[in-house]
Structure 1
């Protein structure tokens, strides 16, 4: 595809000059949605990529302007998404199509789709972008794909069906939530083998590695709790309690504060990682589900599964700033 030079991120300085040369930059570069995404990036606005589970697209939302810019077509039932920032690629699991889609983030288009296992949900990319891992909720397995070719390299057997996945910063360990078994599987990625099963709570859903790389936090939606795991010991500690259907997890303060989306309470709550004490509650929309931090943790973006919106929350004032209509959302990520 031929891309005009002013749309390439390598020419950011030149592009910014074009924007500043007029009060209406759209007249220079066009009004189409793809160009609006480029403008937002060059303004250094964080962008939310939202899996619209009730349809077949990923919505791109400018968090600063609270504006939906573009819908990127994928397969049916996009559920989870991860981004390889080194190569500017996004990987999307398509629940109803049993496929994985690859989005080129330079042009915001799907460039490849490949079959995976049954009912895929969790997806993660190895630091450096060499391999992609897909958790299949409809069968007890994790597919390992070579990122460049999307060729299946191997399949990691799980003791029960998995849900989501996250990988440590050094790329040696992965943690997979086993929703129906109330457990977490720790996988050695040098062996592609489960090395330990960790007890969690009912409805184990989202697993997230802290930015400190010392802890993993797992939400137990049906158990109204969050299970912390010590990465070095690969052992669980006493749970955080008092949530109401926790699902999405995100961090601020370099990993010292953990936030969770309360699906049954229309709120997002935060806790101090070391004291386990609750810190704040922020109102959200109906059925908060996916959660991601933006602007260095000053903002939280939450997908509302019982309505067609995402909400943008201010973690400094603990207020809901704005909601944006996208469709029925599942998980999301921030670029």
Structure 2
């Protein structure tokens, strides 16, 4: 079995707010009508673009300023750089063998890419879009997350049952933390104190204390947990379980599962908008994205995207989501807000009990 075959085998509106929204939409439509202009409206949570990427795109990360998306392309050993203003691929750079995970430092200066098939991490200078370093880690490095202060990168080693801790100042591995079987996803809490790691073959989450780089807890979740993210207030973690088509919700204060949500077929990635009000889940088995209302932990929408969606990331202003479609070699762009021409309406702001008028228009 060659490396590419091996890679494929391994990766198998209410109340007054509602009236206000209608008034805003109607008024804007009336103005356009008087002007003789017909502008179609794009509904919220609608795919507005599909950007060509490389061969089998897996994960995506957005720069802190929201300007660029970095996409790992597993079968041509490259990273695509997409300009989020134009949704056009503007650069492609070569990395290691079988790139999988990608994370960008908080200052936006570097991207860290895990290379699944050569047990390394590529360090990319985002100013020049060039590889400036390679770090040897454990076997089959899969996911990567960076602490909020930018000091450490945590890399899951799927075959080795471990997590490599990289000092980003020296770009060297300074610690290896033993976890359970086949770690894949990793996320850091907003306060930087803990790393949550999904263990696919153990149906568990390992909790790592980032001060000591030691595992301090294990949480049992659903079948084949793949990805994990922590809500912006730090109180809950959302975990995709590909083996039973669900999302586990963990209270990070008690490290206990408090809810299980049924989603689409074979959920992979999970990302949450900056307000923390909605989570977006890629379902690789039915080519869709499930949208979860985090106040009720209920699925409120399902969005059709490209073939076999894997990775997901949301730009910092919370207005668009980028979804990698592994079997289509594209990245779907989802408009999270409703847009009428250049006018975008933020539903989350309008439906708050106390809404912020500045959040209506953008």
Structure 1 and Structure 2 fold alike (TM over 0.5): yes
* In the alignment, structure 1 residue 238 sits paired with structure 2 residue 264: no
* In the alignment, structure 1 residue 281 sits paired with structure 2 residue 302: yes
* In the alignment, structure 1 residue 184 sits paired with structure 2 residue 222: no
- Structure 2 counterpart of 1:308, from 329, 354, 358: 329
Confirm or deny: 8 A CA contact 1:45 1:62 kept in the other structure. Answer: no
* Whole-angstrom CA distance in 1 between matches of 2:319 and 2:178: 39
* Whole-angstrom CA distance in 1 between matches of 2:233 and 2:258: 17
**For residue 47 of structure 1, what is the aligned residue in structure 2?**
68
Confirm or deny: 8 A CA contact 1:87 1:129 kept in the other structure. Answer: no
* Whole-angstrom CA distance in 1 between matches of 2:173 and 2:334: 39
* Whole-angstrom CA distance in 2 between matches of 1:295 and 1:168: 17
Confirm or deny: 8 A CA contact 1:245 1:262 kept in the other structure. Answer: yes
* Runs ≥4 residues deviating over 6 A: none
**For residue 319 of structure 2, what is the aligned residue in structure 1?**
298
* Whole-angstrom CA distance in 2 between matches of 1:93 and 1:315: 29
**For residue 147 of structure 1, what is the aligned residue in structure 2?**
168
1:113-137 per-position Cα deviation (integer Å, ceiling 9, x unaligned): 0211100011111222212211100
* In the alignment, structure 1 residue 250 sits paired with structure 2 residue 271: yes
1:2-21 per-position Cα deviation (integer Å, ceiling 9, x unaligned): xxxxxxxxxxxxxxxxxxxx
1:233-252 per-position Cα deviation (integer Å, ceiling 9, x unaligned): 11111211132111111112
* In the alignment, structure 1 residue 193 sits paired with structure 2 residue 193: no
* In the alignment, structure 1 residue 110 sits paired with structure 2 residue 131: yes
Q: How far did 1:45 drift?
A: 6.2
1:41-65 per-position Cα deviation (integer Å, ceiling 9, x unaligned): 9xx7631100101121110012231
**For residue 91 of structure 1, what is the aligned residue in structure 2?**
112
TM-score, normalization by structure 2: 0.73
Looking at both structures, which has the greater relative contact order when contacts are Cα pairs under 8 Å and sequence separation is at least 6? 2
Closer/same/farther in 2, CA of residues 275 and 255 from structure 1, 3 Å limit: same
Q: How far did 1:317 drift?
A: 4.4
Q: How far did 1:231 drift?
A: 1.1
2:328 alignment partner, SS class: coil
* In the alignment, structure 1 residue 173 sits paired with structure 2 residue 194: yes
1:274 alignment partner, SS class: coil
**Count of aligned positions:** 276
* Whole-angstrom CA distance in 2 between matches of 1:301 and 1:116: 28
Closer/same/farther in 2, CA of residues 220 and 45 from structure 1, 3 Å limit: closer
RMSD value over aligned CA atoms? Answer: 1.7
1:112-166 per-position Cα deviation (integer Å, ceiling 9, x unaligned): 0021110001111122221221110011111112112122211111132211111
Alignment of 1:259-270 (within 5 A): 259-270=280-291
Larger deviation, residues 175-184 vs 229-238: 229-238
**For residue 160 of structure 1, what is the aligned residue in structure 2?**
181
* In the alignment, structure 1 residue 220 sits paired with structure 2 residue 241: yes
**For residue 133 of structure 1, what is the aligned residue in structure 2?**
154
Closer/same/farther in 2, CA of residues 45 and 139 from structure 1, 3 Å limit: closer
Residue segments in structure 1 that go unaligned for 5+ positions in a row:
1-40, 319-335
Closer/same/farther in 2, CA of residues 262 and 117 from structure 1, 3 Å limit: same
2:86 alignment partner, SS class: coil
Residue segments in structure 2 that go unaligned for 5+ positions in a row:
1-61, 340-362
